[in-house]
Amino acid sequence: MSEEPAPDGDREDPGRSREAGDEPPRPADEAADTEDEAADTEDEATDTEDEATDTEDEATDTEDEATDTEDEARPVETDGEGVASGHGSPEQSYPDDVGGISTPPDDEEMPLADHIEEMILRFAVVLLFASAGTAIGLLWASDAISIIWADVFPEGVDEPPPHIYHPLELWLTRIKVAALLGIMVGLPMFVYQCYLFMKPGLYPNERKYYLAAVPTSVVLAGVGMLFSYLLVLPILFYYFTFYAEGSAEIAYALGETFDLVITLTAFLAIVFQIPLFIMLAIMMGVTTRRWLAEKRLYFWAAFFGLAFMFTFDPTAMAPVLVGIVMILLFEGTLLVLKWVGRE
């Protein structure tokens, strides 16, 4: 007997017998996955390039830091005025000290004992020059005493004779007059030795100010001594001679008279440094002309206080004259600064 074919409803469908997960991937899905993988690959390549760029930047920064380190480590050679060798302009940056504070180009760390030793040696040089001037002055001290005694009394006044009240008064007066010459000789050397001692710690502009101040200081000191000798002392002795006229006969002691002459002359040599001190303070930015003008009354009081302290005179004539001179120098300097436009 022949078998009958199975009805259509009973036939087995091969596609239905497969599970859903065993279905083959569709072409559209495969294309999408391929595009995603390609995009990921491109992102990874981009990240790799960025990392390479960062590495190059880090290498460049490292090279710059190494160059800066070499520049800082390289010593700055100067010609003594703060100008580096091979460069004509003094405008340059200097190495920083610990803490970021700039230091002068020739500044070197030295032990305190070395500084003290150098200072003592330079002071000894000053004493040597001053002693030599004093020794030379002793040879003509007697002649100098006679000349000064005749000059301090104004014309028209009978020159009173000097009186000696103790045995060593004449010799001590000779030494004082000779010492005045020694001070005049030693002052320029003192200023110069101070410059050599401070030179390593000075900036180039400060050295220029100091070198300009040295001859100016000596000239002003000489002008102050001449001002005292030719104007102030004659006025004082004219007053001393006539303020007691008719009441007593004045006898001038040799030692005390020359004490006043030497003290007043030396103090006016210092007083005439006032214009220089003001100019240097303003040029170096320590103060301004306007501030000094606003505080002028305080300076006037200080001037009179110093005058009464160092030129004490019971009649008050000497300190008053010196105080007026100090005020005139102060105000004259401020007037000149205003005229040249420095505020």
- The DSSP line for 166-216 is STTHHHHHHHHHHHHHHHHHHHHHHHHHHHHHHGGGS-HHHHHHHHHHHHH
State the chain's maximal CA–CA distance in angstroms: 188
Rounded distance between C-alpha atoms, residue 295 and residue 273, angstroms:
19
Rounded distance between C-alpha atoms, residue 298 and residue 304, angstroms:
10
Taking residues 284-307, what's their average pLDDT?
A: 89
Asked if residue 88 has pLDDT above 70, the reply is no
Q: pTM, whole model, 2 decimals? A: 0.59
Query: What is the per-residue pLDDT across 14-30, written as a single tens digit (0 to 9) for each?
Result: 444 444 444 555 555 55
Asked if residue 242 has pLDDT above 70, the reply is yes
Taking residues 224-245, what's their average pLDDT?
A: 84
Taking residues 212-223, what's their average pLDDT?
A: 83
The proportion of the chain whose per-residue pLDDT surpasses 70, expressed as a percent, equals 66
Taking residues 278-300, what's their average pLDDT?
A: 87
Q: What is the pLDDT of residue 15?
A: 47
Alpha-carbon Rg for the chain in angstroms? 46
Q: pLDDT band for position 324 (50/70/90)? A: very high
* Complete DSSP assignment for 6-27: PPGGGSPPHHHHS-GGGSPPPH
Q: Which of 21, 199, 18 is nearest to 104 (CA)?
A: 199
Query: What is the per-residue pLDDT across 43-71, written as a single tens digit (0 to 9) for each?
Result: 666 666 667 666 666 766 666 666 666 55
